[in-house]
Amino acid sequence: MRMVDIIQKKKHGEILAENEINFVVNGYVNEEIPDYQMSAFLMAVYFKGMNKREIADLTLAFVDSGDKNDLSNIQGIKVDKHSSGGVGDKLSLVIIPLVASVGIPVAKMSGRGLGHTGGTIDKLESIEGFKTVLDRETFVNNVNTHKMAIVGQSANLTPADKKIYALRDVTATVDSIPLIASSIMSKKIASGADCIVLDVKVGSGAFMKTVDEAIELAKTMVEIGKSLNRKTIAVVTDMSQPLGHEVGNANEVKEAIEILKGNGAEDETTIALTLASYMVVLGGAYKDFSTAYDELSKIIKSGAAIKKFKELVQIQGGNPELVDNPNMLPQSKYHLEIKASESGYVSAIDAEKIGITAMLLGAGRKKKEDTIDFSAGVTMVKKVGDNVKAGDVLCILHTNIEEQQEAGELSKKAYSFTDMEPKSLRYIYEVIQ
């Protein structure tokens, strides 16, 4: 078999056989196929696509390239959740204790942030002492005893996806539905969950910019899940502005605590409850979505959800007192108010620009090796639909870097205004199951 023939076939839109897909993935991982041929192949997939069978084969080739997490020692139906990546998305911090509080086990592996999107593991590490590496026995015991545990993705989980993702990042081939779907689903399959709930983001802060594209991605992932015997539900949710009011790490933990106490912003509370409700229905706790939604809302109101988050912090080595005293989280030195220079209604907030602003302030990484400043971030004072007068504060930049001109200008550019009150945004566009 020759790589050049496979590139040629895909260039003409032909369907690849399973052994051809395995040849490409294994050859690239083993360094028999060079970056330039893989780049050409990825671009051919970008333009010509893949059918369902090819995408499932690509997913399995990624899964087989590394370790598979064995969750068989964990009792009950294991349900996992994944977001396709957003700005201000702290929902895993809310969903893990919420789902665990009704007895459904959550054995979660999460990633770190890169570029304009944040990662759950980075957010949790802003809690002093919180361990995101646990040995297998502790991980399994914590899930069996407390119904929850979270760790960073093990180094050898889907290494083929890791290597190919890095190449996609520099060859403008990230936003391809077959490539995103196989990348996300391979990590979920290798993580070992029985059922998967996917949060597919759409809008300025997401890879999918239109609802139609996001629905297509959602359908593709649900089909892969089903074809590999995992019950999978995808919820298409709004990312046309940052989620909630906080973007960063420590400040997102603070906001997650507020959501769990019942004081969260409407957008993130609704989406968190929706995703968690589908998870607990798949896990067998409730028979239908609306019962689950009502019960989980009551759990937040009763204080049981925030109590469960305290338990999570404690069992993973952090100080649970921070839940009652969030000022124990890292605080930055500078807080710069960005003010409106015109009056009107906020019509849009470019979430990607706010994500990049947070990164410039120190909250994210430009390169994988960069360290992050947990205290850095952005507070979104004004959101879409708010009425603003010139001089009002739009957002506040938190940082330890004295010089913030670029971040200041970018965050201001993220805001657009209109004279007429804009239509209110939908939080949830579609549910695919």
So which residues are the catalytic ones? Answer: 82, 161, 168, 183, 187
| Residue with Cβ nearer ligand URA (110 or 399) | 110
Window of 144-152, 174-182, 297-305, 382-390 that interacts with ligand URA by CB under 6 A: 174-182
| Residue with Cβ nearer ligand URA (200 or 271) | 200
| Residue with Cβ nearer ligand URA (37 or 153) | 153
Q: Which of 56, 184, 189, 218 lies at the binding interface for ligand URA (CB under 6 A)? A: 184
* Shortest distance, position 176 Cβ to ligand URA, whole Å: 8
Distance of alpha carbon 129 from alpha carbon 313, whole angstroms: 9
| Residue with Cβ nearer ligand URA (114 or 378) | 114
C-alpha 293 chain-centroid distance: 21
Q: What is the CA radius of gyration of the chain?
A: 21
Tokens representing 42 are 């990825």
Window of 133-141, 177-185, 296-304, 381-389 that interacts with ligand URA by CB under 6 A: 177-185
| Residues 205-264 within binding reach of ligand URA (CB under 6 A) | 207
**SS3 of 291, please?**
helix
Taking CB under 6 A as the rule, does residue 158 contact ligand URA? no
Taking CB under 6 A as the rule, does residue 399 contact ligand URA? no
Taking CB under 6 A as the rule, does residue 183 contact ligand URA? yes
| Residues 71-90 within binding reach of ligand URA (CB under 6 A) | 84-85
Residue of minimal CB distance from ligand URA?
183
- Calculate helix-pair angle for 289-302, 266-282, nearest 10 degrees: 120
**Total binding residues toward ligand URA, as defined by CB under 6 A:** 9
Distance of alpha carbon 200 from alpha carbon 236, whole angstroms: 5
Distance of alpha carbon 42 from alpha carbon 132, whole angstroms: 33
| Residue with Cβ nearer ligand URA (207 or 286) | 207
Bridge partners for 387 per DSSP: 345
Distance of alpha carbon 314 from alpha carbon 344, whole angstroms: 46
Give, in order, the Cα–Cα distances in Å from 361 to each of 88, 239, 358, 377, 392. Answer: 15, 21, 5, 7, 22
- Please report which helix (H) or strand (E) contains residue 3, including its range: helix 3-11
Distance of alpha carbon 208 from alpha carbon 377, whole angstroms: 24
Name the residues that contact ligand URA, by CB under 6 A. 84-85, 165, 174, 179-180, 183-184, 207
